[in-house]
């Protein structure tokens, strides 16, 4: 996956729009207009703060089904994403939780979104929804049938889960890329808001080769400096919310602070690399 081509930068910051509970979910509030209004406000806050892309998730639909969501969820998400596509210029991605990759691909294809996130593309994971099996075979065939070039960002050893297949990170990354045909790899911590370890990021980066690695959770102003040593970008949510609480809405000030922190760090790294290069060629 060419990050520069998709996000207009080689180190993208991807903010997340967590949709309020959608129709048929346990906490559905009865107003699609309220969901759209909040999604639009959060998308504008993210883009105005400087993020390079957005992922739209049905995060507040918990408890989730492990595979296919209700058709009403697909319809609602398609409506929301269509509105956002006309509102902001940043590339938009879809994540249909817990692992409805076919619906995510369908929504992305019909709305001309840029990418999807898939929690379990390869392997088998034990989760609070039960056993979730990889969907690479069906998803890749479906993408071809749709005639779309929507990119697939795949989690490896996804959060809130334990592997029943290989727990070796190098093997899992290799299988997800070589056998699952993922366009980018996402590495998270053990739960929402928890970052991956630097050791795991380093292992994943070495195993991924030319395939981009993105931090999938836990990035904030204080640790992004360290995380970006071994990552090509970051998906960030919790630390951008008001008071840093996942249930709150996006805080525009926190977005700007995070973007500034990451950009300053990347600029510093570029300067250090340039200095090191000059020393080598003396």
Indicate whether 275 pLDDT > 80: no
Q: What is the mean pLDDT of residues 213-226?
A: 94
Q: Give the pLDDT score at 274.
A: 44
Q: Are 158 and 189 in contact (CB under 8 A)?
A: no
214 by Cβ neighbours in 10 Å (0-12 / 13-18 / 19+) ranks as: buried
**In the block, residue with structure tokens 């034990």:** 126
Indicate whether 272 pLDDT > 50: no
The answer to whether the predicted template modeling score (pTM) of the entire model surpasses 0.85 is: yes
Residues 6+ apart with CB under 8 A from 194: 159, 188, 217, 218
Q: Give the pLDDT score at 161.
A: 81
Taking the C-alpha atoms of residue 82 and residue 104, their distance in angstroms, rounded to an integer, is 13
Per residue, what are the HEC states of 240-276? Answer: HEHHHCCCCCECHHHHHHHHHHHHHHHHHHHHHHHHH
Q: What is the mean pLDDT of residues 215-237?
A: 95
Nearest CA-CA partner of 182 in 130, 237, 131, 143: 143
Domains belonging to the chain, first-starting first, are 3-280 (3.20.20.70)
Nearest CA-CA partner of 88 in 117, 51, 33, 59: 51
Taking the C-alpha atoms of residue 235 and residue 226, their distance in angstroms, rounded to an integer, is 15
154 CA to centre of own chain:
8
pLDDT, tens only, 230-243: 999 999 999 999 99
Q: What is the mean pLDDT of residues 62-90?
A: 97
Q: What is the mean pLDDT of residues 50-67?
A: 96
Indicate whether 76 pLDDT > 90: yes
């Amino acid at each position: 996956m060419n990050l520069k081509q998709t996000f207009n930068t080689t180190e993208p910051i991807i903010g997340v729009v967590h949709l309020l509970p959608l129709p048929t979910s346990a906490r559905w509030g009865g107003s699609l207009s309220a969901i759209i209004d909040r999604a639009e406000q959060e998308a504008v806050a993210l883009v105005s703060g400087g993020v390079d892309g957005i992922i739209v998730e049905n995060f507040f639909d918990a408890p989730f089904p492990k595979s296919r969501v209700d058709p009403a969820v697909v319809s609602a998400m398609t409506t929301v994403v269509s509105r956002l596509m006309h509102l902001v210029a940043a590339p938009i991605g879809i994540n249909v939780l817990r692992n409805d990759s076919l619906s995510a691909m369908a929504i992305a294809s019909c709305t001309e979104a840029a990418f999807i996130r898939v929690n379990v593309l390869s392997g088998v994971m034990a989760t609070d929804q039960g056993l979730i099996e990889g969907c690479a075979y069906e998803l890749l065939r479906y993408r071809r049938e749709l005639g779309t070039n929507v990119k697939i960002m795949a989690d490896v050893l996804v959060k809130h889960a334990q592997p029943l297949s290989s727990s070796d990170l190098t093997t899992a990354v290799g299988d997800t890329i070589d056998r699952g045909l993922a366009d980018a790899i996402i590495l998270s911590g053990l739960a929402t808001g928890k970052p991956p370890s630097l050791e795991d990021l380093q292992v994943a980066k070495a195993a991924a080769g030319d395939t981009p690695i993105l931090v999938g959770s836990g990035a904030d102003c204080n640790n992004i400096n360290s995380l970006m040593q071994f990552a090509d970008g970051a998906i960030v949510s919790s630390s951008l919310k008001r008071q840093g609480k996942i249930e709150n809405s996006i805080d525009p000030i926190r977005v700007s602070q995070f973007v500034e922190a990451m950009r300053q760090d990347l600029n510093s790294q570029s300067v250090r690399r340039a200095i090191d290069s000059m020393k080598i060629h003396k």
